[in-house]
Chains A and B, each alone.
Chain A
Amino acid sequence: MKFVDEYRDGGAAHGLAEAIDREATRPWVIMEVCGGQTHSIVRHGIDEMLPLGVELVHGPGCPVCVTPLEMIDKAHAIAGQRGVVFCSFGDMLRVPGSHGDLLGRKAEGCDVRVVYSPLDAVDIAAKNPDRRVVFFAIGFETTAPANAMALRVARQRGLRNFSALVSHVLVPPAIEAILNGEGNRVQAFLGPGHVCAIMGTGEYEPIARRHRVPIVVTGFEPIDILQGVLLAVRQLERGDATVHVQYGRAVRAPGNLPAQRVISEVFEVCDRAWRGVGVIPASGLRLRDEYREHDAAEIFDVASLTVHEPEACISGEILMGKKRPRDCSAFGGACTPVSPLGATMVSSEGACAAYFAYGRHLPATDRRRLPIADGRSP
């Protein structure tokens, strides 16, 4: 596949890993924000290729992990209502709520369907006028344009039986929250490539400046990620803190203007609770008033749900990079990919699932040892 295969060249990857090894003179902690980047790192074993001192921390870049429990429970409650066709991206089907997941709901007889595109859910609504079709509109800014278009189309076609349960989250406030958090260890970011393809890079400049952290907007293939790490390491070694675009083939500084326009037409910024983390101000999107009749949260009366997060789950602290999965008492025992307690174990991008999958049994590979000046990562 063009624009994919070239970025998976082993020789080039090896060369980049060696360059990182040569140029890093101290330990550094870099966070990749996007779940898709985490997936690529795990899938290609990129973590294992980095010198020991360069630590990649997985950030809260997976909507599966961060969708608040209350929202999941709302989704389950709506799916359980008579006449509802509940449509969702595949990612959300196994996320545990207070009582089971959407797959469990399906087993109980609810009409739960996986869709590839939000427009498919609109189609289902058009073809089933007697059913109430609800679409679980989750994701970061990358998915917002698609979800927005679906709502716009539904409204234009007068599909009153179509509604969306919206739980969009925004990246820049999350990055700020991480940097402002007590005990923050992150010194640089691999910025989210596709989010920036939509929103541009403007929002990240003030963050880089204010917190003095390099932000390298990175793609998703192994060469992209390794190059992103190298560029971040270079800035860290030099003491720079700028926004640099590695993923130039898809990202332009202004972003995608038509997409931004449609997002603003359908959504507005709001405060949003992040699972395990709490409310981050102005970190989410909700439907504008004009779209109220397509807002599933308004249409369906699913008030006063008691939410019950398993006590052992420390997903929140892991998402913010403060703790590692092995710090959790439930990791690998009560909490495994087959029986997850928290969202970070459900998603293949979730830090816990990633660690579980590739951390447990791998014998120590001969990774190059980095001379560490003070013996400890900051």
Chain B
Amino acid sequence: MCLAVPGRIVAISRDDGLLTAKVDFGGVIKRACLEYVPDAAVGEYVIVHVGFALSRIDADEAARVFALLAEMNALEELERS
């Protein structure tokens, strides 16, 4: 389960009463239901699964992964020298 892909919200509207977003996934635009991430704004990234945005992407947390990697590399350099 859980094939969910990150995309950028480019527009928000109401479709048949449901909060809906147009999401840009690297050049392809598809609609997603935004009812579960109602505070998401245009320009933000969300993770979309079966046509539903499930979570906002926290850019700081995303960057942390690479900070940890850099830390690891630095440590390794130290150990080697």
Contacts and interface: CB of A to CB of B under 8 A. Distances in A.
A248 B64 contact: yes
A163 B55 CA distance: 27
A89 B16 CA distance: 23
A249 B50 contact: no
Contact of B55 (A36, A117, A250): A250
A62 B54 contact: no
A142 interface: yes
29 contacts: A1-B26, A2-B45, A3-B6, A7-B65, A15-B72, A15-B73, A16-B69, A19-B72, A35-B1, A36-B4, A63-B1, A89-B50, A142-B49, A142-B54, A146-B51, A146-B52, A149-B35, A194-B47, A194-B54, A195-B2, A197-B55, A220-B4, A223-B69, A249-B59, A249-B61, A249-B62, A249-B65, A250-B57, A256-B54
Given A140-B2, A220-B2, A258-B38, A3 B62 contact: yes
Interface in A1-36: 1-4, 6-7, 12, 15-16, 18-19, 22, 34-36
A252 B58 CA distance: 10
Contacts of A192: 2
Interface of B: 1-6, 8, 16, 18, 25-26, 33, 35-38, 45, 47, 49-52, 54-55, 57-59, 61-62, 64-66, 68-69, 72-73, 76
B58 A249 contact: yes
B67 to A, nearest CB: 11
Contacts of B33: 117, 119, 146, 149
Nearest to B63: A249
A337 interface: no
The 4 closest A-B CB pairs, nearest first, are A117-B51, A248-B61, A1-B26, A194-B2
Q: Which of A2, A18, A227 has the most CB of B within 10 A?
A: A2
A39 B68 CA distance: 25
Contacts of B6: 1-4
A153 B1 CA distance: 23
Contact of B1 (A15, A139, A227): A139
Contacts of A36: 1-4
Given A119-B51, A145-B52, 12 more contacts: A3-B62, A15-B72, A36-B3, A61-B1, A120-B51, A140-B2, A146-B33, A194-B4, A220-B4, A248-B65, A250-B47, A262-B35
Interface of A: 1-4, 6-7, 12, 15-16, 18-19, 22, 34-36, 39, 61-63, 89, 116-120, 139-140, 142-143, 145-146, 149, 153, 192-195, 197-198, 220, 223-224, 227, 246, 248-252, 256, 258-259, 262
Nearest to A261: B36
A104 to B, nearest CB: 24
A62 B3 CA distance: 11
Nearest to A195: B2
Contacts of A259: 36, 54
A191 to B, nearest CB: 12
Nearest to A4: B6
Nearest to A197: B55
A275 to B, nearest CB: 15
Contact of B50 (A143, A220, A246, A251): A143
Contacts of B25: 1
B1 A4 contact: no
B45 A3 contact: yes
Nearest to A141: B1
Nearest to A120: B51
B2 A2 contact: no
A116 B50 contact: yes
A249 B68 contact: no
B51 to A, nearest CB: 3
A4 B54 CA distance: 17
Contacts of B52: 117, 145-146, 149
Nearest to A142: B2
Given A6-B66, A35-B2, A249 B38 contact: no
A227 B62 CA distance: 13
A128 to B, nearest CB: 17
